[in-house]
Amino acid sequence: MIHETPQQRRQEDNRDRILAAAATVVSEAGLEGLSIKKVASEANYTPGALYRYYPSKDALLAALTVQTLGELAQIMMAASERPGLQSITAQAHAYRVYSREQPAMYALLAAMNGSPRVWVADETSARTIGGAMVGALSPLAAAFGRCAHDGLVDDGDSRERAVLLWTAVQGTLQLRKQERVAPEFFDADRLSQTMVGTLLRGWGADTAKVDAALRQTFESGGQS
């Protein structure tokens, strides 16, 4: 077992402090407002001191995104422990809850994935984010694999299905800003649940079992 030295622990604490400051800046000013200068000020660092930990804005944004995706992966993994089709419906529900409880980090992921703008140009940093995204969707892909093995859905590419379902949920949740003007039409949570059910039925799941999984997930709040 490798033990961290006091210096290594201090460095890790400092990195966490900087990322917390970056999250605050993103929450208050959005990705457009993120800058090394603002983060340094929020963390009570000089820009020069911050650069020792994150040598560029790309590196800082990549680290914040990877941290966010790591937290999301843990949430998805916990939700995936439900039985049968609920291992899928509960993960979709968990992401809906996450989007409400962590709006700034949800907005970060939405912008990083949905905006046509390239937020991280550095190839190494971008690949790091891609790897973290794969990790966050791995519990969902594994759930699809188990359901296919158990005959609850047709055989198919579990990773592709995980990506499709997650992007479908992501897209419907972004309609929340329209709920204020037309709530009867743009009910993001209802549309998201409908989308999950539609995709599952399209992949061969029994309608009654899909409806039961969605109902049980909703009634339990997605908790196992």
pLDDT at position 223, please? 47
pLDDT at position 147, please? 98
Q: Say yes or no to pLDDT of 220 above 80.
A: no
pLDDT at position 19, please? 95
Highest mean pLDDT (candidates 50-59, 109-118, 150-159): 150-159
pLDDT at position 224, please? 39
Dihedral sign, Cα of residue 194, residue 73, residue 123, residue 119: positive
E strands, 70-178, are: none
pLDDT grade, residue 43 (50/70/90)?
Answer: very high
3-class state of residue 56 by DSSP: coil
pLDDT at position 85, please? 98
Q: Say yes or no to pLDDT of 221 above 70.
A: no
pLDDT at position 214, please? 96
pLDDT at position 44, please? 92
d(CA 65, CA 112): 8
Mean pLDDT of 6-26: 89
User: 36 or 115: whose pLDDT is higher?
Assistant: 36
Q: Say yes or no to pLDDT of 192 above 50.
A: yes
C-beta of residue 105 within 8 angstroms of C-beta of residue 123:
no
Mean pLDDT of 64-81: 96
d(CA 184, CA 142): 35
Of 14-18, 157-161, 196-200, the one with minimum mean pLDDT is 14-18
For 20, the token pair is 């917390």
Q: Is 30 left (phi over 0), alpha (psi -120 to 50) or beta?
A: left
pLDDT at position 2, please? 54
Stated length of the chain: 224
Q: Which amino acid is at 176?
A: R
Query: Average pLDDT over the chain, rounded to whole?
Result: 91
